[in-house]
Amino acid sequence: MGRRTEVRQVDETVALTPDELAARKRRNVWIALAVAAFIVLVFAITLTQMQAAVLDRPL
């Protein structure tokens, strides 16, 4: 009737080669740079919108 699934503990770890470790590091650096660029973009847009709102107010 029902399916039985077995859950097994796996204690094996994958040993990465130096090339794979270097590729992982490169990917992580590019991801970090992309996140930082996104944060700077959002900050710049926010400042621009706030500055426009300040200049638009009645004196």
Find the domain containing 35 and state its range.
Answer: 17-59
CA 23 to each of CA 2, 26, 53: distance values in angstroms, whole numbers, following the listed order? 43, 5, 45
Residue 32 in any domain: the answer is yes
Residue 24 in any domain: the answer is yes
Q: How confident is the model over 26-49, as pLDDT tens digits? A: 999 999 999 999 999 999 999 999
In single-letter form, the type of residue at position 39 comes to I
**Residue 43 token pair:** 């900050």
Residue 12 in any domain: the answer is no
**Residue 59 token pair:** 């004196």
Rounded-to-integer distance, Cα 48 and Cα 37, Å:
16
Residue 8 in any domain: the answer is no
Residue 40 in any domain: the answer is yes
CA angle 14, 15, 20 (to 5 degrees): 105
The total of structural domains in the chain comes to 1
Residue 2 in any domain: the answer is no
> Is the confidence at residue 23, as pLDDT, over 90?
yes
